[in-house]
Amino acid sequence: MTAHVVSAAVPALEVHDLSVAYRSQPVVWNVDFELPPGVLCGVVGPNGAGKSTLFKAILGLLPTASGFVRVLGKGFESQRLRVGYIPQRESVDWDFPTDALDVVLMGRYGRLGWFRRPSKADRALAMECLEQVGMADFARRQISQLSGGQQQRVFMARALAQQADLYFLDEPFAGVDAATERSIIDLLRALRDRGATVLVIHHDLQSVAEYFDWILMLNMRLVACGPTADTFTPENLHRTYGGRLTLLAEAVERLRAAREGRTAS
């Protein structure tokens, strides 16, 4: 509950003119938006719209072509530990030799810093987080023996263990059962209610209005970003899903080819 001395005037996240055109990643061009603290924001857009790319660029995992990011009023570097991240479930090796509790403990590594090992208090906190996602009984289970939904719950527990103020969740509902989806959305609401801002890449347009109070609509460029009630309109949906901006993609590809000395395909 320490998190919320933040004044409402300071946005939780500011993204200024962010552009990414990195190797085979989808192109994201001139994305510019702000999110206030304490919102649960869905990120929607068709396949290849650059949703994951946008997350990775904000988190500094991909080089950007231009633009900058501010988290809770300061540069991203100085605010790392206030940012939590769940990558797509398939992006990690679930046959890795470790158990559920150990994965949750990884959420503490940022605060521990270099060389230090998790303490008893970290372990207790990690167990508590597993408890919150209903996975306490599976703490010592090898992670490959967990179902898809259980693996996603473990990831959710790891995010909770990060005790962040700003979260990026890449498709936490992909391939999970209805009960897991319900329990994850409840946890996300609880995070929002204590003042955290949560961005969630989401595919099921049916549940957008029910789940999210803010919505960010993306298709290579930002189509719209704002409160769901005014923003999630048929017109914006049409602009988001109404086909790729083929000319933008082609122009950016030419730019990259020119920089790398290739002929544009």
Partner 1 sequence: MDELLRFVLLRDANTVYVVAGTVLLGIASGLVGTFALLRRESLVGDALAHAALPGVCAGFLLAGERRLAALLGGALLAGWLGTQAIALIQRRSKLKDDAAIGIVLSVFFALGMVLLTYIQTLPTGAQAGLDKYLFGSAASLVGRDVAVIGAVAALAAGAVALLYKEFKLLCFDAGLSASLGFPRGLLEAVLMTLLALTVVAGLQTVGAVLISALLIAPAAAARLWTDRLPVMLALAAAFGAASGYVGALFSSLGGSLPTGPLVVLSAAGIFCVSLVVAPERGLAARLLRRRRTNARIRGENALKHIFLIEEHLANPALVSGEDVAAHHSVGVRDALAMLEGLRRRGWVERDGAAWSLTPEGSTEARRIVASHRVWETYLARELALPPDHLHRDAEDMEHVIDRDMLGRLDEELGHPARDPHGTRIPRPEERP
Q: Toward partner 1, which CB reaches closer, 79 or 219?
A: 79
Q: How far is the CB of 166 from partner 1 (least distance, A)?
A: 11
Q: Toward partner 1, which CB reaches closer, 106 or 245?
A: 106
What single-letter DSSP state applies at residue 39? Answer: -
Q: Toward partner 1, which CB reaches closer, 66 or 145?
A: 145
Contact assessment for residue 155 and residue 90, using Cβ atoms and an 8 Å cutoff = no
| SS3 annotation, 87-127 | CCHHHCCCCCCCEHHHHHHHHHHHHHCCCCCCCHHHHHHHH
Q: Toward partner 1, which CB reaches closer, 66 or 144?
A: 144
Q: Toward partner 1, which CB reaches closer, 67 or 219?
A: 67
CA nearest 73: which of 144, 11, 30? Answer: 11
Q: How far is the CB of 96 from partner 1 (least distance, A)?
A: 5
Q: How far is the CB of 59 from partner 1 (least distance, A)?
A: 5
Q: CA-based Rg of the chain, rounded to a whole angstrom?
A: 19
Question: Could you tell me whether strands 13-20 and 66-71 are parallel, antiparallel, or unpaired per DSSP bridges?
Answer: antiparallel
Q: Toward partner 1, which CB reaches closer, 117 or 120?
A: 117
Q: How far is the CB of 199 from partner 1 (least distance, A)?
A: 13
Q: How far is the CB of 154 from partner 1 (least distance, A)?
A: 12
| Whole-number Å distance between alpha carbons of 94 and 96 | 5
| Whole-number Å distance between alpha carbons of 203 and 201 | 7
The residues binding partner 1 (CB under 8 A) are 23, 56, 59-61, 77, 80-81, 83, 85, 87, 91-93, 96-99, 103, 106, 109-110, 112, 114-118, 142, 144, 158, 260
| Whole-number Å distance between alpha carbons of 220 and 26 | 8
Q: How far is the CB of 163 from partner 1 (least distance, A)?
A: 13
